[in-house]
């Protein structure tokens, strides 16, 4: 009977969370803390992959269960931050709450979470977004290289047996820096060799990829040994079908990406000049 009463109370609390009083925002309020909660049950929430740029600010929304929730954010380097978040007291009129999902789990409690629970902004918009945060939202940023990778948002609550439950969500920040390529405006003749690379080396590059135009997606190419540390590629014997957008994508501390438009003239490229020696004929 007590368990049933607790269940009813928690459901009523959830309704109150969604219907009572005007909303207020707490902004980015957190403290560094080592999480020492031992949760016997861990429940994954659908992971997020967030494409963003260096210096972007990302708005994130934490799931709401009840007023006893505790929130922790783990950074890619292992640091743990305790977030001072609360259940919003009223739905924000600027949010699309018709997209909210409510999921019932074991022990009869509910999770309320926006499906559109994240968004990346330019750093210039930081002040405005800070003022408009709901009390279960927080900002991450401006993003730096060390923010690339997997973050984990953990929400801790107690079940009907007063045991800790952890709901965790992996949030992958895919930070991209767009760079110019070298050459910036390639224009070649049919038969020429096309060399393409980043303008300079980037630290800790682990992989390099070249993306050809659709018309020639299976084109033969090889890594350029001269510009190997700049993700250099060599495409021999250019044809008219090779004309179009070429991209290079390098993965290091973050993702580096650049693209160029290759123009190909119809005329043949210049071949090396061959000078033949004439045999001297002497009268016998």
- pLDDT of 123: 52
Confirm whether 2-175 and 179-268 share one CATH topology. Answer: yes
Give per-residue pLDDT as tens, 142-168. Answer: 889 999 999 999 989 888 888 888 889
- pLDDT of 136: 78
Q: Which fold has domain 2-175?
A: Immunoglobulin-like (2.60.40)
Query: Residue 96 contacts by C-beta under 8 Å, 6 or more apart in sequence?
Result: 114, 116
Measured in whole angstroms, the distance separating CA 85 from the mean position of its chain's CA atoms is 24
Q: Answer left, alpha or beta for residue 64, where phi above 0 means left and psi between -120 and 50 means alpha.
A: beta
Q: Which of 170, 168, 172, 169 is nearest to 42 (CA)?
A: 168
The H-or-E segment that residue 4 falls in is helix 2-19
**How do the pLDDT tens digits run along the chain, 284 residues long?**
444 344 433 333 322 222 222 222 223 444 444 567 888 888 888 888 888 888 888 888 888 777 778 899 999 999 999 988 877 666 554 444 333 333 444 444 444 444 455 555 555 555 555 566 777 788 888 889 999 999 999 989 888 888 888 889 999 999 999 999 999 999 999 999 999 999 999 988 999 999 998 766 677 889 988 888 899 999 999 999 899 999 999 999 999 999 999 999 976 655 433 334 444 444 43
Residues 261 and 180: beta-carbon distance below 8 Å: no
Q: Is the peptide bond between 183 and the residue preceding it cis, with omega within 30 degrees of 0?
A: yes
- pLDDT of 130: 59
- pLDDT of 43: 85
Sequence ranges of the domains in the chain: 2-175, 179-268
Q: Which of 167, 172, 115, 168 is nearest to 143 (CA)?
A: 172
Homologous superfamily in CATH for domain 179-268? Immunoglobulins (2.60.40.10)
């Amino acid at each position: 009977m007590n368990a049933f009463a607790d269940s009813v109370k928690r459901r009523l609390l959830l309704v109150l969370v969604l219907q009572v009083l005007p909303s207020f925002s707490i902004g980015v309020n957190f403290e560094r803390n080592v999480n020492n909660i031992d949760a016997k049950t861990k429940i994954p929430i659908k992971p997020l992959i967030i494409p963003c740029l260096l210096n972007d600010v990302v708005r994130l929304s934490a799931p709401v269960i009840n007023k006893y929730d505790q929130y922790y954010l783990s950074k890619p380097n292992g640091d743990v931050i305790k977030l001072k978040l609360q259940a919003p007291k009223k739905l924000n009129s600027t949010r699309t709450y018709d997209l909210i999902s409510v999921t019932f789990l074991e022990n009869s409690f509910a999770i309320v979470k926006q499906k559109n629970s994240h968004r990346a902004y330019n750093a210039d918009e930081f002040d405005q977004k800070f003022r408009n945060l709901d009390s279960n939202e927080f900002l991450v940023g401006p993003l730096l290289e060390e923010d690339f990778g997997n973050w984990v948002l953990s929400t801790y609550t107690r079940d009907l047996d007063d045991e800790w439950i952890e709901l965790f969500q992996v949030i992958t920040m895919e930070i991209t820096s767009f760079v110019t390529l070298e050459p910036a405006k390639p224009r070649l003749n049919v038969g020429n060799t096309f060399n393409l690379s980043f303008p300079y080396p980037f630290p800790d590059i682990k992989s390099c990829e070249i993306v050809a135009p659709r018309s020639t997606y299976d084109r033969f190419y090889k890594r350029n040994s001269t510009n190997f540390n700049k993700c250099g590629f060599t495409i021999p014997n250019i044809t008219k079908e090779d004309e179009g957008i070429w991209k290079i994508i390098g993965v290091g501390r973050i993702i580096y990406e650049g693209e160029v438009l290759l123009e190909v003239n119809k005329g043949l490229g210049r071949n090396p000049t061959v000078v033949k020696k004439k045999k001297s004929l002497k009268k016998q």
